[in-house]
Amino acid sequence: MPFTDVADRVWVARYPQWDVNVTLVGGSDGLLVVDTHGSDAHAREVVDDVRRLGAGEVTGIINTHWHFDHSYGNRTFRTAYGELPIIAHETAAEELARWGDADVVVLPDRTFSSALALDLGDRMVELVHPGKGHTGGDLVLRVPDVDVLLAGDLVEESATPSFGDDSWPMDWPLSLDVVLALTTSASLVVPGHGAPVDRDFVEEQRNQIGIIAETIRDLAGRGVPLDQAVETGEWPWPRERLGEAVRRGYEQLPRSQKRLPLI
Ligand SMILES: [Zn+2]
């Protein structure tokens, strides 16, 4: 059974392809599916698994961010369960419209800017945009009655979090501070990829991303040219994972914090 319960009416399935998590949150009105896997074929497998679980019908879809492995199954869920609302942060919807594969994508049709509470009948869940990070439009979903937080790819367990050409390395640590403020020492945090973790794990990852941001700020401030920055810095993670972080960080630093190299 791919879906295992991690708390009262919260089930997580971890799929080997892209090691991605799909989570279900149940209420008396039905199930919310949080992320829809990376293709029609993969999402059909998820729909089969939801039916095998027998916990009810899906009544809403959440995309934690625009990336394909979290959103390209939207259409399959609509085909299986009818015209479900697809909920995402407003920036995630824009990013998916701009960068997603138009032949595959079904766009979110219900968006929010900072926070949104959803009524599942006998329980409420909260969606919060903690700020920019892994992308410009990440959301976290909190289930307060069981102290569970779904973190999307702001937190990863099975690999170091991924800095892409759409990520915000200088903002990410501050966004994780907001995420941490939504958790307690007893919280269960479900990352976008890998096994569930606790608050200490998130704090540790926040600190590493914070060191990366500070290192980027320091290198730029000392006038180290971008093409030497990755090799010059001392990093908490393998440097081959940090090329985009450094490039994006240099781009995003305010002019006053960058110096031209002194020749
Ligand atoms: Zn992602």
CA 122 to ligand 1 centroid distance, Å: 31
Predicted model pTM: 0.95
The rounded distance, in Å, linking the Cα atoms of 117 and 249 is 33
Which strand (E) or helix (H) includes residue 143? Answer: strand 140-143
Q: Quick one: average pLDDT of 244-256? A: 91
For 80-107, the pLDDT digits (tens) are: 999 999 999 999 999 999 999 999 999 9
CA 96 to ligand 1 centroid distance, Å: 12
Out of 3.60.15.10, 3.40.50.970, 3.60.20.10, 3.40.50.620, which CATH number does the structure's domain 4-199 have? 3.60.15.10
The rounded distance, in Å, linking the Cα atoms of 23 and 31 is 10
CA 155 to ligand 1 centroid distance, Å: 10
CA 2 to ligand 1 centroid distance, Å: 21
CA 261 to ligand 1 centroid distance, Å: 34
The rounded distance, in Å, linking the Cα atoms of 186 and 189 is 10
For 63-84, the pLDDT digits (tens) are: 999 999 999 999 999 999 999 9
pLDDT at position 248 over 80: yes
The rounded distance, in Å, linking the Cα atoms of 149 and 127 is 10
For 205-237, the pLDDT digits (tens) are: 999 999 999 999 999 999 999 999 999 999 999
Amino acid at 120: L
Beta bridge partners of 87: 62, 110
How many residues are listed for the chain in this entry? 263
Contact 49, 24 (CB under 8 A): no
Per-residue model confidence (pLDDT) at position 6: 98
What pLDDT band is residue 255 in, cutting at 50, 70 and 90? Answer: confident
CA 152 to ligand 1 centroid distance, Å: 7
Domain boundaries, the chain: 4-199
